[in-house]
Amino acid sequence: MRIVTLAGISTLLVTSLCFVCAAQNKPEKTGPPSDYSELEKAPAKYRAKANPLAKDNDSIPAGKILFEEHCAECHGENALGTKKAPNLRAKEVQTAPPGTLFWILSNGIVRKGMPVWSKLPEPQRWQLITFVQSLGPLEAAENKTAAKP
Amino acid sequence: MRPARLRHLFKLLLAAFLILGAAHFVRAQENPYIVAYDHNLEEPGSLEIEYFSTFGTQRGGQDFHAFWSEFEYGATAWWTTGLYLSGQTTFGDSTVFTGYRWENRVRPLKNEHWINPVLYVEFEDINGADKILKEVEGHDVESDFLTPNAEARRERNREVELKLILSSNYKGWNFTENTLAVKNLSNEPWEFGYALGASRPLTLKGAAQKCNFCLQHFIAGVEMYGGLGDRYSFGLRNTSHYLAPGLAWNLPSGWTFKIEPSFGLNDNSHQLLLRWGVSYEISGFGQIVSQLFKGKSE
C-alpha cells in the first residue's frame, strides 16, 4: 500500500513538473507583436466607456509607477513590447477606445499569458490606461532606428 | 564536510544568487486573507516565497507556535501550483516537522465574471502533530491539540482536499467564499469546511509618487472560517469557528507583510490564533531558470 501511494505521489509530482516545464518552454502564445485582434473582442458596452481619470493631473505619474510595478516586466520599460508581450505604443493600442483597454486589463487574455488585472482597483486600471495612451504611437523598429547614431 | 559536497553546495548557492540577482521584483497585490483564497492567481513565471506563523493559545495544555513556508509558482495565467512545508513548537514539549502539502489552483473561465470560480486541489502528507490550522475541517476542536507531540506525530494523515473558490471584485472590494471537502485516503468519511472573506485597499487610486506608506499599499479585511462536520453529521455544531480581521501591506519592492488575529467564536475553538506572515514575489523566475539550464536566452 505504501509503495503504491509513493508511486502515485511521484507520478503526480513528475507529471506536474512536466506541465510546468512545458508551460515555460512553449513559445509565447502572445503571438506576433502585430496581433492586436483581442482588442476587437471588447463588448460595445466597454468600448463606449470613457476614462473617468483622463483629465486627472495625477493619473500619468501614478500610471507610470503602476506600469513599472506591474507591466514593464512583460511589455518592456518603454512599453515597446518584448518577446513575451506586444508593443503598447502600436497605433492599434494608442488609438483604441480607453474602454477597450480597460476591458483587456480587467479580463486579461488568460489563455495567451496575459493575467487578469481585476485585482487592481478600477481607478488604478484607468491610471494605467491614461499613462499608456499618453506615451503616443511608436513602433519598436522605429525606436531602434532612432537610437542609432 | 567533504570538499565534493562543499563544491556542490557552493554551486547551488551560486545558482540561487544568480537567479535572485537576475530576477525582477514586482509589487504584489495580496489580500490580507491567510485561510481564504480569492480568484487572483500568481502571474505566469512568478515565484512567491512565503513564511507564515501562528501563535495559538491552548486551554488545558501548552500554547504553541506553528509555522509554514510556501513556494507558490504561476505556471500559466490560469494555473498556480505551490508546495508547503510545515512544523510546530509546542511550548514545554518539542519542535517537530509536520509534513508537506502540494496545492494547485486552476481558473476554468477565461474572462472576469460577477463571480469567478477557481478549483483547488491539494494533496497533503502530514502527521497528527500539525497545528498550522490552514483550514478548519470536519469536527476539528481545540482539545485535538492536547496530545503530546511524540504521540501525535505517529499518526499519519494523507489527505486530498478539494475547494471551490468563488470570488468577486466590486468597486475595490473583494468578496470570497470557499467551501472545502477533505478525504483522508484511509477509510474515513469526507469532511467539510468553509471560509469567507471581504477586503478592500485603504484607498483605490494610485499615488503620483513612489512611496512605501501610501494607503494604496495597505489592504484591510476580515475572514471567517470553520468546520462543517462530515458526511454523517453535517453542520456547524461540534466543530470550531473563527473570526479574523487582518491587514496586508504590499511594498513596491516585492515584499508583503500580513497580520491577522483570529478569535474563537465558540467553546470548541482556540481563544486566540495570532497569525502573521511575510512573502516575497520574484517575477520572471521561470524564464530565468529556463535560461540557466539552456545556457542562453531563446
Per-residue buried b or exposed e for A50-82, using 16+ beta carbons within 10 Å of the residue's own CB: ebebeebeebbbbbbbbbbbbbbbbbbeebbbb
Task: Pick the more confident residue, A142 or A37.
Answer: A37
Q: Which residues of chain B have pLDDT under 50?
A: 1, 6, 17, 22, 297-298
SS (H, E, C) chain A: CHHHHHHHHHHHHHHHHHHHHHHHHCCCCCCCCCCCHHHHHCCHHHHCCCCCCCCCCCHHHHHHHHHHHHCHHHHCCCCCCCCCCCCCCCHHHHCCCHHHHHHHHHHCEHHHCECCCCCCCHHHHHHHHHHHHHCCCCCHHHHHHHHCC
Residue type at A46? Answer: Y
* ipTM here: 0.81
pLDDT band at A25 (very low <50, low <70, confident <90, very high): very low
Residue in chain B nearest A41 by alpha carbon: B111
A20 near B CB under 8 A: yes
Grid cell, residue A19, equals: 506541465
* Calpha distance A2→B257 (Å, rounded): 39
Partners of residue B79 in chain A, C-beta under 8 Å: 19, 23
pLDDT of residue B289: 83
Cell representation of residue A98: 480607453
Q: Helix or strand or coil: residue B85? A: strand
Whether residues A69 and B75 touch (CB distance < 8 A) is answered with no
Q: Whole-model pTM?
A: 0.83
**pLDDT band at A2; cut points 50, 70, 90:** low
Is A66's CB within 8 Å of B104's CB? no
User: Least CA distance to A62: which residue of chain B?
Assistant: B208
CATH architecture for residues B3-294: Beta Barrel (2.40)
CB B225 within 8 A of CB B239: no
Contact: B209, A65; criterion CB under 8 Å:
yes
> Alpha-carbon dihedral of residues A94, A100, A101, A107, nearest 10 degrees?
-160
Is B235 in contact with B194 (CB distance < 8 Å)? no
For chain A, how big is the Rg over CA atoms in Å? 19
Q: Round the average pLDDT of chain B to a whole number and report it.
A: 90
Residue carrying C-alpha cell 485561510: B35
Looking at residue B7, what is its pLDDT?
57
Q: What is the pLDDT of residues A68-90, one digit of tens each?
A: 999 998 899 999 999 889 999 99
Q: Which CATH number fits domain A32-147: 3.40.50.20, 3.40.50.1980, 1.10.760.10, 1.10.10.10?
A: 1.10.760.10
- Tally of residues, chain A: 149
Helix (H) or strand (E) holding B102, with range, is strand B95-106
What gap in Å lies between CA B145 and CA B241, rounded to an integer?
A: 16
Please give the distance of CA B98 from its chain centroid, rounded to a whole number. Answer: 15
User: A121 and B205 in contact by Cβ < 8 A?
Assistant: yes
Q: What SS3 class is residue B296?
A: coil
Terminal C-alpha separation, chain B: 38
Does the beta-carbon distance from B283 to A73 stay under 8 Å? Answer: yes
How many pairs of residues across A and B have Cβ atoms under 8 Å apart?
A: 114
User: Which residues of chain B does A24 touch, with a Cβ-Cβ cutoff of 8 Å?
Assistant: 45, 75, 286-287, 289-290
Residue of A51, A77, A118 to mutate, testing the B interface (most B Cβ within 10 Å of its Cβ): A118
Q: Write out pLDDT tens, residues A100-141.
A: 999 999 999 888 888 899 999 999 999 999 999 999 998 765
CA atoms of A95 and B218, how far apart (whole Å): 34
Strands B241-250 and B191-201 turn out to be unpaired
Domain ranges of chain A: 32-147
Residue B29: per-residue pLDDT: 81
Q: Is B176 exposed, middle or buried (0-12, 13-18, 19+ CB in 10 A)?
A: buried
Where are the domains positioned within chain B?
3-294
* Distance of residue B165 Cα from the nearest chain A Cα, in angstroms: 15
The neighbour count for residue B24, using CB atoms within 10 Å, is 15
CB A110 within 8 A of CB B78: yes
Chain A residue numbers with beta carbons less than 8 Å from the beta carbon of B112 are 106-108, 116, 118
pLDDT value at residue A18: 47
